[in-house]
Structure 1
Amino acid sequence: MFPKKTLLSSAAIVAVTLLMSSCSAGGGSEGGSPAQSPESPVSVNIEPAGGTGVNPTTPIVVKVSNGKLTDVTVTNAVKGTTVSGQLSADGLSWTSTEPLGYGSTYKVVAQAVGGNGKPIEQHSQLSTLSPRLQASPDLVPAPAAVASTGVGVGQPIVFSFSEPVKNRAEVEKRLSVESTPRQEGSWYWMDDQHVHYRPKVYWQPGTVLKVTAKVYGADFGNGVYGATDRTETYKVHDSWIARADGNTEQMQIFHNGRSVKSMPISMGKDSTPTHAGPHVVSDKQESTVMDSCTYGLCPPAPGAYRTTEKWAVRISNDGEFVHENPASVGAQGSANVSHGCINLNAANAEWFFHTMGLGDVVEVTNSGGPQLPVWDVYGDWSKSWQDWRSGSAIK
């Protein structure tokens, strides 16, 4: 018979062995980490974690460990409005689903319950940045103006920002043109407020263009931030291309690649030649006053003029139109006598006015004039594709 003290020591050894077995058997998860205990405290994490100057597009994310979220409320401290959000199916996270406002303070209240059934509540507060100025992404042409007619195959897409853009690459990354069918295209910055998009070659007739600017929250530089996002859709109508030749003094009109009309013309005389290269229709007026004073030639200077012309189709901002001119009918088809416009007789001018629309193309050759500058409204097609792509801020 063993001594009593020895028996007690053996029992203690057995008890310790059983305890160790029960802790190791089934007590850990895959990888050897211990399972969460119902008695472990709930932990709630809220990001961004307070502070000021938060970008309003930064989502608020609430996560919980050793428990589940039961409710999250994000409230504008001044307006009292709440921010929409989505709770994950497993109850472990909540993410805001709408942007915040500029210069605003938000209060976050997160409620959760632990494995032991005990509820907790976590609070946080954050403030968003306040821009010095906000820049609006205006579109040219205005989508409403061409909703029923569509645009021509030469129409560039233009964003005109209400404030200068210093961080061009940052803003350009947030701009997109999705074409259906797909066509290669690129952006070109004309200046700090205007960026144009055109394809490598003219748009295909019937193309649908989805244009997007996700610039809300974008840092334009110098304290300027994007005012709002914008998405618009354009449709490209049939192909209408006019080809004006200074050698033949004729202009041929092509519809979807087929010649449908030819008309005698008179282009700019030697002292005021019409710009060469592709022009794009940017405006139409049944009648308009043409005044040489608009480019510095005012009476009593020789050659100064001020006349009202009919069926005026603008093809550049340099005062170039396709329009009726009764005074040059005798020269149309034989000599260039205009101040830079393409002159037509009454019947041809009216037909051209009603046929050609915004974004349609007038290609000028053998005019004796310089190439239309890229910055002259829609001089976009004067650049080779390689040169055009070099105008992008993203290298």
Structure 2
Amino acid sequence: MFAKKTLLSGRGAIVGLLLAALTLSACSSGDDKGGGSPGASNNGGDSADSPVSITIDPANGSDLNPAKPITVKAANGTLADVTVSNAAKNKPVKGDFSADRTSWTTSEPLGYGSTYQIVAHAKDGKGKTAEQQGKISTLSPRQQANPNLIPAPGAVAQGGVGVGQPIVFSFGQPVKNKAEVEKHLSVESTPKQDGGWYWIDDKNVHYRPKEYWKPNTQLKVSAKIYGVDFGNGVYGATDRTESYKVHDSWVAKADGGTEQMQIFHNGQMVKSMDISMGKDATPTHLGPHVISDKHENYTMDSCTYGVCQGQPGYYKSNEKWSQRISNDGEFVHENPNSVGQQGSSNVSHGCINLNDENAKWFYQNLGLGDVVEVTNSGGPQLPVWDLYGDWSVPWDKWQAGSAIK
């Protein structure tokens, strides 16, 4: 009996110990943040015990867009050095580290049709190091399109451009992906004015405000097109940013009915001139014209717009104080041969004729971007493609000329 009682007591003690252990485990499980025994690694990894590592984006690949930056990152440590170099030229690419040196990004674009070697080293707090390498190649365009600007900034006088001046990008290569290219073009005006882009054709896109620029407006024009896919194997050749200044408002109003041209400076009429515009056979275009070029002496040759020597209407003569107002041969200029008709009848080949005194005054006071508005000429509207027929297009139709819908 004594032995049996002792055995039962032993079993009771074991059961009691097991229950106590289970109870202790249940009570402490909610406070055990680690979810395991001390020293065991978590499912998510223990950064203190994980080795330093490096990732490169992109690390490898071909036909990559050179405008995409290369980014190198270190995990569980910091970057010691990063080298990205053109394999053919052995020329390093510039880049910048983040403040904590856990990342590095190229700060200049890569070149087209080039191969680059990437080597990066990193270390952790205990001095352990890591190395990572990569190699990429960039795409080779069939053609590259340059963002040629009109008016050319170098051709603009220090005084700036007139209130009618459109901004033109002429790319030299056909643009298939017009909307994509247009997204990378911008004109910032100070003070701000509503404006928009209008595609004249596959190579030329124009920008103008809803109304003439306000005098003394500052313009910042940008084309961020490097690496942009124009379509059909054509890519943007380079980015470009330029600035323009809009000077005082100069607007000339030429009336073919009265044979008078009134000149307005900042909205106030300052001069009136006798004129002779295009005769019935060669009428001056209607609508706003913009001065795009000027010469003290210029040879007028009808062959430049298709009427050459031996054909009816051919002419070739040297004229003074000439300012171009369209690409098909319309100018404001001095013409001594029509002085007798100036103020009474229209006898020119489409130009606006002035006497010497008035032509010189006009030349000295008006210039690139200033406006000549033609009314009652008997001619057709100036076409939008006829540099610059932009202002002949109503604003709603101008907005419809954008590729971004």
Q: TM-score, normalized by length of structure 2? A: 0.89
Q: Secondary structure at the residue paired with 1:150?
A: coil
Q: Partner residue of 1:228?
A: 238
Check if 1:314 corresponds to 2:321: no
Structure 1 residues 302, 109: closer, same or farther in 2, change over 3 A? closer
Q: Partner residue of 1:332?
A: 342
Check if 1:110 corresponds to 2:124: no
Q: Partner residue of 1:386?
A: 396
The answer to whether the 8 Å contact 1:27/1:34 transfers is no
Q: Partner residue of 1:175?
A: 185
Q: Secondary structure at the residue paired with 2:61?
A: coil
Unmatched 5+ residue regions in structure 2? Answer: 1-5, 36-41
The answer to whether the 8 Å contact 2:187/2:219 transfers is yes
Percent of matched pairs sharing the same residue: 67
Structure 1 residues 373, 105: closer, same or farther in 2, change over 3 A? same
How far did residue 35 of structure 1 move? 6.1
Question: Which residues in structure 2 correspond to 1:267-278 (within 5 Å)?
Answer: 267-278=277-288
Alignment-mate amino acid for residue 324 of structure 2: R
The answer to whether the 8 Å contact 2:59/2:133 transfers is no
Q: Partner residue of 2:165?
A: 155
- Find the partner of 1:188 among 191, 194, 198: 198
Number of equivalenced pairs: 392
Q: Partner residue of 1:52?
A: 62
Q: TM-score, normalized by length of structure 1? A: 0.92
Q: Secondary structure at the residue paired with 1:393?
A: coil
Question: Which residues in structure 2 correspond to 1:1-395 (within 5 Å)?
Answer: 25=32, 27=34, 34=44, 36-114=46-124, 116-395=126-405
Structure 1 residues 84, 301: closer, same or farther in 2, change over 3 A? closer
Structure 1 residues 89, 306: closer, same or farther in 2, change over 3 A? closer
What CA distance in whole angstroms lies between the structure 2 residues aligned with 1:299 and 1:196?
35
What CA distance in whole angstroms lies between the structure 1 residues aligned with 2:28 and 2:107?
48
How far did residue 298 of structure 1 move? 3.3
Q: Secondary structure at the residue paired with 2:119?
A: strand
Q: Secondary structure at the residue paired with 1:51?
A: strand
Alignment-mate amino acid for residue 197 of structure 2: W
How far did residue 192 of structure 1 move? 1.4
How far did residue 37 of structure 1 move? 4.4
What CA distance in whole angstroms lies between the structure 1 residues aligned with 2:170 and 2:97?
39
Q: Secondary structure at the residue paired with 1:121?
A: strand
Q: Secondary structure at the residue paired with 1:232?
A: strand
What CA distance in whole angstroms lies between the structure 1 residues aligned with 2:217 and 2:131?
54
Deviates more, 1:34-43 or 1:204-213: 34-43
What CA distance in whole angstroms lies between the structure 2 residues aligned with 1:291 and 1:145?
24
How far did residue 69 of structure 1 move? 2.4
What CA distance in whole angstroms lies between the structure 1 residues aligned with 2:311 and 2:134?
73
Alignment-mate amino acid for residue 366 of structure 1: N
What CA distance in whole angstroms lies between the structure 1 residues aligned with 2:44 and 2:325?
75
Alignment-mate amino acid for residue 130 of structure 1: S
What CA distance in whole angstroms lies between the structure 2 residues aligned with 1:89 and 1:40?
23
Deviates more, 1:332-341 or 1:284-293: 284-293
Structure 1 residues 57, 21: closer, same or farther in 2, change over 3 A? farther
Unmatched 5+ residue regions in structure 1? Answer: none
Alignment-mate amino acid for residue 71 of structure 2: V
What CA distance in whole angstroms lies between the structure 1 residues aligned with 2:154 and 2:345?
40
Alignment-mate amino acid for residue 140 of structure 1: I
How far did residue 85 of structure 1 move? 2.0
What CA distance in whole angstroms lies between the structure 1 residues aligned with 2:78 and 2:311?
84
Compute the RMSD of aligned alpha carbons: 2.8
Structure 1 residues 10, 35: closer, same or farther in 2, change over 3 A? farther
1:38-74 per-residue CA deviation (whole Å, 9 max, x = no partner) reads 3323332211130101111111112232333222221
